[in-house]
Structure 1
Amino acid sequence: MKELAIKGTIIDNNSKDVYDYFEIEHTAPKDIINELDGDDIKITVNSYGGLVNAGVEIYTALKAYEGNVTIDVVTAGSAASVIAMAGDTVRMSPAGQLMIHNVWTQATGDHNEMDHTSQVLKQANHALANAYQLKTGRTHEEIIQWMDEETWITAKQAVELGFADEVLFTNDANISLLASVGTPILSQETMNKLRQLKQNKQENKTEEQEQSFIDQLFF
């Protein structure tokens, strides 16, 4: 059985070069999809989430995968909790948690743009709720309410509610848990600055020039 890990921030493939270069913990869709070769897989999830579209891409690929998918959850928040729902078997660390909540974004514009953004977010909530509903068998209305309340779910509760199939270590299940902390999604402005820093390093800028640039970075 092949073993994979989803940890750190869930990002899109286009941002991977910056996260890789600066060794920021992350998972992009291609990190998982490129490893799907037909074998049964076990994926350890330890992530507070990230980009919705990237999470949905991973979830969809795993749901369509012909091999058996076992997902072991240490922490699965936001987009990572959606990915966890793709497991044929979902197992939770006894100290682990799932977190589901409403989709959020940033927007600028007039009141029409704000109204439109609100509707887009509501539709995204309903779309993601389908993944939770498919796994749990709970009603759509229940799940939407839990998302609206930002619900944190323990291992025992996850099994009771249908988000997970078993709690690890209680039935001789075994796993090597991977420690991880959440990392923020970098803004496009910060991404551009980091790409410039990467280019400066490659062009052998002086240490003084490099430090001056670093001082301008805001995460």
Structure 2
Amino acid sequence: MKIEIKGPIISDGEQWIYDWFEIPATSPSSVAKQMKKASNNEQLEIHINSGGGSVFSGSEIYTMLKDYKGDVIVKIVGVAASAASVIAMSGKKIMMSPTGQIMIHNASTSGRGDHNEHQHTATLLKTIDESIANSYRLRTGMSQEELLGLMEQETWLSPQKALNYKFIDEIMFDNEKILNSMSAIQLKNDGTLPQEVIDKVRNELKKMPNVINGMSLEPVPEVKNNEKEQEDKIKLLKAKIKLRIL
């Protein structure tokens, strides 16, 4: 069964206004209404193209989909930004169009009042950011600090970056894995390689006889230093090519 998440993510009380003007929008009640049509916990296919909106409505929709007894497949067909990116994390399997985007950022609001009111609002927003990051953390396995750092920067994720960070499971239509290439490997915020890349390199090098950390353990005669050094470089180069981290 297909369910579309389109337009802004809004509260239940606003849905009738958007419906009246025939403007696409998504509220928790509109999603719940569609879910009730599903029979025998049939698979749900969620198509998302939304710039986000209400974080609390997004949280409610995310929770409903996560709590669903059947399989939930998410397809990001356009953009899944802000609250819509949280909804996207509900999928048992998440797929993304090769032309799609995911955007994550800090929660925001408008307000009025004295400095105490604004300080209270700032504290509340930080708490909301932590809650939002929980949905990303459960999906990606990244640390809270890494995710809050990406949110702080208002990070836009291409399909390759989303795949690398494990926000998605696959890029749609890329059966030959053309897009899942060397460019998919990205450095972390501090400029270091992801731990999984380092682990993959180590595992591949362990498969090579007499090689640890890219260097040969065999005795190297002085007269053949250059030759052995070149051989080690070739082995390491092959490992890099195989792991697609060049």
What amino acid sits opposite 2:19 in the alignment? D
Greater Rg over alpha carbons, structure: 2
- For 1:31 and 1:107, the matched residues in 2 are separated by 28
Q: Match of 2:66?
A: 63
- Alignment partners' CA distance in 1, 2:139 and 2:29: 24
Shift of 1:24: 1.5
Does residue 112 of structure 1 match 2:119? no
Matched, 1:27 2:30: no
Identity of aligned residues (%): 44
Consecutive aligned runs of 4 or more in structure 1 exceeding 6 Å deviation = none
The CA deviation at 1:60 is: 0.4
Following superposition, the deviation at residue 76 of structure 1 comes to 0.2
Give the C-alpha shift of residue 34 in structure 1: 2.0
Which of 80, 83, 104 is the equivalent residue of 1:79?
83
Which position in structure 2 is the counterpart of 1:43?
46
Instruction: Give the structure 2 partner of residue 200 of structure 1.
Output: none
Aligned letter for 1:82? Answer: V
| 1:39, distance to aligned residue in structure 2 (A) | 1.5
Number of residues of Structure 1 aligned to a counterpart in Structure 2: 171
What's the TM-score, normalizing by structure 2? 0.68
Give the secondary-structure state (helix, strand or coil) at the position aligned to 2:48. strand
Q: Counterparts of 1:91 and 1:171 in 2: how far apart (Å)?
A: 12
Which one scores higher on RCO, CA 8 angstroms, separation ≥ 6?
Answer: 1
Residue aligning to 2:7: 8
Task: Give per-residue Cα distances to partners, 1:151-187, cap 9 Å, x unaligned.
Answer: 0000111111010000000128xxxxxxxxxxxxxxx
- Of 7-16 and 22-31, more deviation after overlay is shown by 22-31
Q: Compute the TM-score of the two structures, normalised by the length of structure 1.
A: 0.77
CA RMSD in angstroms, aligned pairs only: 0.9
Shift of 1:30: 1.3
Local SS of the residue matching 1:26: coil
Higher strand share: 1
SS of the aligned residue for 1:24 comes to coil
